[in-house]
Amino acid sequence: DTAVSQTPKYLVTQMGNDKSIKCEQNLGHDTMYWYKQDSKKFLKIMFSYNNKELIINETVPNRFSPKSPDKAHLNLHINSLELGDSAVYFCASSQGQNQPQHFGDGTRLSIL
């Protein structure tokens, strides 16, 4: 069974659309994260939730909105997509905030 699973794996859409990416972890971890990895391979944290509470909200456009219905799920909704949003988005989880993180396979978002 996949430990951290993201859907969809690929997302191709047009500028201006709204899209969501879902993430689920079955590791029993209490902390989940969203990262963006751009074409230069920089992995940058966007959000982190601990037991459904937002604990990290980096400088990210407010078009990005995370939602955590429970501690095993962290979804990312993006409004009014822009060309610069094209990237790979990784979900991750850990047991505690300073512990090793387990990453999902990533969602490759391409904006046309």
Task: Give me the residues that bind other proteins (CB under 8 A), please.
Answer: 33, 35, 40-45, 48, 55-56, 90, 97-106
Task: Tell the smallest beta-carbon distance from residue 24 to other proteins (Å).
Answer: 15
Task: Tell the smallest beta-carbon distance from residue 106 to other proteins (Å).
Answer: 5
Separation of alpha carbons 62 and 73, rounded Å: 20
Choose between 46 and 78: whose C-beta lies nearer to other proteins.
Answer: 46
Task: Tell the smallest beta-carbon distance from residue 60 to other proteins (Å).
Answer: 14
CA distances from 33 to 15, 16, 109 (A): 25, 25, 17
Choose between 46 and 111: whose C-beta lies nearer to other proteins.
Answer: 46
